[in-house]
Amino acid sequence: MSENNTKPELPFNNLFLNSGAVNGLNHWWMYLTGISAALFGYFLFQIIIQVPLVSLALNKGFTIEDIVANPNIIFDPSKIGINKNLLLAMLFGMFIFALLGLRLVLSKVHKKPFLSIVTAYEKFRWKKSFFAFSVWGGLVIITVVTSYLFDPESMKLQFNFSQFLLLLLITLVLMPIQTSTEEFIFRGYLVQGLAVIFKNGIVPVILTSLLFGIVHMANPEAKTFGWMIMLPYYTLFGLFLGLLTLLDEGMELSLGIHCANNLISSLLITSPNGVLQTDAIFESKTEDPGKEFILWIIMAIITFTIFWLKYRWKNFNLMLK
């Protein structure tokens, strides 16, 4: 065979990283544009909804100085007197706008198909995503129910059928958009973009995981319990999802886990310091982030073991290049 007919060598062993490198255009300024577009959409919608939320806070006796000192006031339904489900739906709108911004740049600037940042395969592997959702969701349910049975004083049963039904509808429709948008940006778009620069997968996953953790430090629980416990939690969660994405050469597993984590948790339990205040079945009366961190590590180990036994991963070099 002549040299002219020889296919060019792919830059990575990992099909997922190759999907980002060989599809469309990948100049650094394009990725900066994509992230800027996503942030613009996110904060534009946040500014829009802040107008009525600030008005509600002022009517409840808070001052502008109070809100500036603690911006989370306007996102606390108990403080501003707004229905929890209505506020939850409004907050999800920010992720819809962020996703629209990212899609626009992918299509018009990068000129690459959206699926290329999601998976290396021609079609999305729905079975894998649903399986991951089932495994992680099942572990979340077991953890919450077991905690209630063995320590009922730590939770308060607050089930309200009508409010819960509305919560269920909102989360089923909008929660996957919220979790998927985060995954598309951190585990897909940014990992592939940084891989072109660093020529490997592990450094981008570490950097995006740390960024994932830092971004979540704006959540109320981070301000309550401190960065020392919450930053490692969110960073390791991002790292776990990122490594699964590289190892499986697609985001199907990470999308399923992230969605199950937020959706099932929002339906089962809420807490005064949580970022999502919902009409869940239980309300936590005592919070122990250290204990929850340990439980998460156990869940991650169990989940990885189940995936490894099912998918028989052998090429762990996929997590490197």
The percent of residues above 90 in pLDDT, for the chain, comes to: 77
Do 251 and 116 touch, CB atoms closer than 8 A?
Answer: no
Residue 194 has pLDDT above 90, yes or no: yes
pLDDT of residue 43: 94
pLDDT digits (tens, 9 = 90+) for 178-189: 999 999 999 999
Instruction: Read off the tokens for 137.
Output: 């969701």
CA distance 289 to 227: 11
pLDDT band at 3 (very low <50, low <70, confident <90, very high): very low
pLDDT digits (tens, 9 = 90+) for 100-150: 999 999 999 999 999 999 999 999 999 999 999 999 999 999 999 999 998
Mean pLDDT for the stretch of residues 289-303:
95
The residue range of the domain holding 184 is 11-319
CA distance 106 to 30: 9
pLDDT digits (tens, 9 = 90+) for 58-92: 999 999 998 988 888 888 888 999 999 999 999 99
Q: Look at residue 218 and tell me if it is in a domain.
A: yes
pLDDT of residue 2: 41
Residue 106 CA neighbour count, 13 Å, CB half: 23
Residue 1 has pLDDT above 50, yes or no: no
Closest of 244, 245, 253, 240 to residue 128, by C-alpha: 253
Q: In this structure, how many other beta carbons lie within 10 angstroms of the beta carbon of residue 276? A: 21
pLDDT of residue 105: 98
pLDDT band at 7 (very low <50, low <70, confident <90, very high): low
pLDDT of residue 285: 85
pLDDT of residue 31: 97
CA distance 139 to 27: 41
Residue 283 has pLDDT above 70, yes or no: yes
Do 276 and 270 touch, CB atoms closer than 8 A?
Answer: yes
Do 31 and 190 touch, CB atoms closer than 8 A?
Answer: yes
Q: Look at residue 4 and tell me if it is in a domain.
A: no
pLDDT of residue 274: 78
Task: Give the chain's domain count.
Answer: 1
Please report, as a single letter, which amino acid is at residue 277: Q
CA distance 91 to 75: 9
pLDDT of residue 240: 98
Q: Look at residue 312 and tell me if it is in a domain.
A: yes
pTM, full prediction: 0.93
Residues in Cβ contact with 56 at an 8 Å cutoff, skipping those fewer than 6 apart = 74, 80, 81, 82
pLDDT band at 6 (very low <50, low <70, confident <90, very high): low
CA distance 250 to 118: 6
pLDDT of residue 5: 53
More reliable by pLDDT, 68 or 255 = 255
Closest of 170, 21, 151 to residue 95, by C-alpha: 170
Residue in this structure with the two tokens 């004083």, named with its chain if needed:
153
pLDDT of residue 4: 52
The percent of residues above 70 in pLDDT, for the chain, comes to: 98
Do 190 and 238 touch, CB atoms closer than 8 A?
Answer: no
What is the average pLDDT score of the chain?
A: 93
CA distance 216 to 234: 7
| DSSP class of 106 | I
CA distance 24 to 71: 40
pLDDT of residue 35: 97
